[in-house]
Amino acid sequence: MAYRYNRINWQNKPNVATPISAENLNKMDKGIDDNDKAIGDLAQLNTSNKSSLVSAVNELNNKLAWEEWKTATLQNGWTGTIRYTKNGLNEVRLVLISLNPGTVTGLTIITTLPVGYRPERNVLIQLADSTGRTNGAIMYLNQNGNLYLANDSSFTTALYYSAQAQFYAS
């Protein structure tokens, strides 16, 4: 913890080690001023309720809380589960669980995430198959919310695929 003030530890008369002087009084004055400014800085926290630090912490905790998971609708013959959630900081978690391939040609759209859950920039997602190998199983999630197969991906319909990603929504 960084301290703003060092105590003088005043001594009673007849001790002359701690005289009441302009130097010592100015040191105390500066310490009081520094602490006043620091308290003022706390009041400038980005919160809608500045009545207390507890309110600011509670507001931040609410922003960090994740909403209920939602389930995406799969397309083009794909089965399995794709779930997503978001917190108040606009972070999105995306989980792909036991996906069984349908159409496996490049650029096939698997699902489209709704507005508010789409990434700021394209996200590459490396999937692992049910044997634990990655072997070129790659999907992209673009800014339009489309989750699609990379053009040169290699998916086998006999295996299941899983992955997860986290990103900021646009």
Residue entry with tokens 């080690």: 17
Instruction: In whole angstroms, give the CA distance from residue 82 to residue 93.
Output: 11
- Comparing 119 with 104, the larger pLDDT belongs to 119
Residues 77-93 pLDDT 10s? 999 999 999 998 899 99
Residues 52-75 pLDDT 10s? 677 777 778 888 889 999 999 999
Mean pLDDT of 22-29: 84
Q: Per-residue confidence at 1, pLDDT binned at 50, 70, 90?
A: very low
The tally of CA atoms less than 13 A away on the side-chain side of residue 154 is 4
Enumerate domains of the chain plus CATH numbers.
70-168 (2.60.40.1830)
